[in-house]
Amino acid sequence: MRQLTVISGKGGTGKTTLTSSFAALAENATIADCDVDAANMHLLLQPEIIKTYDFTALPTAVIHPEQCTGCGICVDHCRFGAIKEGFEIDPYICEGCGVCEYVCPVDAVTMEYNKCGEAYESKTRFGPLVHAKLGIGEEAGGKLVTLVREIAEEVAQKNNCDTIIIDGPPGTGCSVIAALTGVDIALVVTEPTVAGIHDLKRVIEVAEHFDIPSLVCINKSDINDSKRREIETFCTQKGIRIAGEIPYDTTPTEAMVKGKTIVEYTDNSFAKCVIEVWEKVKEEMGS
């Protein structure tokens, strides 16, 4: 089974537009939406959820006022400043370490595990989709990404899929690392802007750090010719292949408003560029 992760360093570069089209084009793939923090794929694939998994990561401390004597020992030991006036825990700040529970002389603190997200196994018109929703303000996005990938692997096996296509999260942090580790190839979507190039370089470094070969796709390629060439030069120097270029166009927005993927919405030149990128990616994956 081959695994592909689509990443971008920065959001809004057209990752989901591309990945959803790949979902439409791939014959036998399981799709995993690992952008768990702000998942969007479901808006285009309209999944029918067949199984829900609860996601629990770290506990949160709770101080029981009946027991608390107000000695303040917990406050002194909490390194995250999560214990507010009146010995109340700010759940957004609490990291769930359990130090307060440990140091409290009168056992006034308990650590409580709450559900902080959900993962779903779904059916779509293009095959299985595994996606998730992280509770607001929850950390451990990386762990939820790992859960999505684990479910996706099971689902792919069950359905005899030969490929898993992963829509990765933005950035270079823990979720991205979780979405990248162990995959066969990373497709980095970038754009010819100062910020795009900066983020491309950072995310390529992350992929290199984890030994994942990458391919690059330049979106909005006609917005700035000299920046586009800068990306090409960078890729040549790094020995990274460019899988294709996609012009600045309103097609993705129009398709999105209709709830469709590009390749379903139209067969114009824009869609052809997307298909071309997919062909290159397949070739690189050796399938």
Stretch in the footprint of other proteins (CB under 8 A) among 32-40, 122-130, 145-153, 155-163: 32-40
Identify which of residues 111 and 275 has a Cβ nearer to ligand SF4 in the complex: 111
Residue 69 contacts ligand SF4 per CB under 6 A: yes
Binding mask 104-123 for ligand SF4 (x = CB under 6 A): x-x-xx--------------
Stretch in the footprint of other proteins (CB under 8 A) among 97-105, 148-156, 261-269, 278-286: 97-105
Identify which of residues 62 and 223 has a Cβ nearer to other proteins in the complex: 223
Stretch in the footprint of ligand SF4 (CB under 6 A) among 28-36, 78-86, 217-225, 236-244: 78-86
SS3 per residue for the chain? CEEEEEECCCCCCCHHHHHHHHHHHCCCEEEEECCCCCCCHHHHHCCEEEEEEEECCCCEEEECCCCCCCCCHHHHHCCCCCEECCCEECCCCCCCCCHHHHHCCCCCEEEECCCCEEEEEEEECCEEEEEEEECCCCCCHHHHHHHHHHHHHHHHHHCCCCEEEEECCCCCCHHHHHHHCCCCEEEEEECCCHHHHHHHHHHHHHHHHCCCCEEEEECCCCCCHHHHHHHHHHHHHHCCEEEEECCCCCHHHHHHHCCCCHHHHCCCHHHHHHHHHHHHHHHHHCC
Residue 91 contacts ligand SF4 per CB under 6 A: no
Q: Rule CB under 8 A: which residues touch other proteins?
A: 9-13, 16, 37-38, 40, 43, 58-59, 77, 79-80, 92-93, 95-99, 102-103, 134, 136-139, 141-142, 169-175, 177, 191-196, 198-199, 202, 205-206, 209-210, 220, 223-224, 227, 248, 250, 253, 256-257, 259
Residues in the site for ligand SF4, rule: CB under 6 A?
61, 63, 68-74, 78, 80, 82-83, 87, 89, 94-100, 104, 106, 108-109
